[in-house]
Amino acid sequence: MPDSAPQQLLHLVIGGELTDLEHVTFKDLDQVDIVGVYPNYASALAAWKAKAQQTVDNAHMRYFVVHLHRLLDPGQDAK
């Protein structure tokens, strides 16, 4: 991979209905909405905002941005 290629900072956007508002425990794992994987935080945030806005009437529905690049290479942020 060439050194000039932009660094991929993969982000996952997922969501679903939570069992309660105090914990991040999904009510039904079969119903978790995997929105997608994005190459940067800005595009993941845009997808998160769109999905969160669609479900604004359901207080138990939550969407999250997961920083996959931190899971794939935990030391990356320290560089």
**Contact 32/19 with Cβ under 8 angstroms?**
no
Q: What value does the mean pLDDT take over residues 14-19?
A: 96
In the chain, domain spans: 11-69
The pLDDT of residue 14: 97
Give the model's confidence band at 8: pLDDT under 50 very low, under 70 low, under 90 confident, else very high.
confident
11-17 β-sheet, strand order: 33-38, 11-17, 61-67
**pTM given for the model:** 0.80
Name the fold adopted by 11-69: Alpha-Beta Plaits (3.30.70)
22-48 pLDDT, tens digit per residue, is: 999 999 999 999 999 999 999 999 999
Distances (CA, A) of 33 to 4, 7, 78: 35, 27, 31
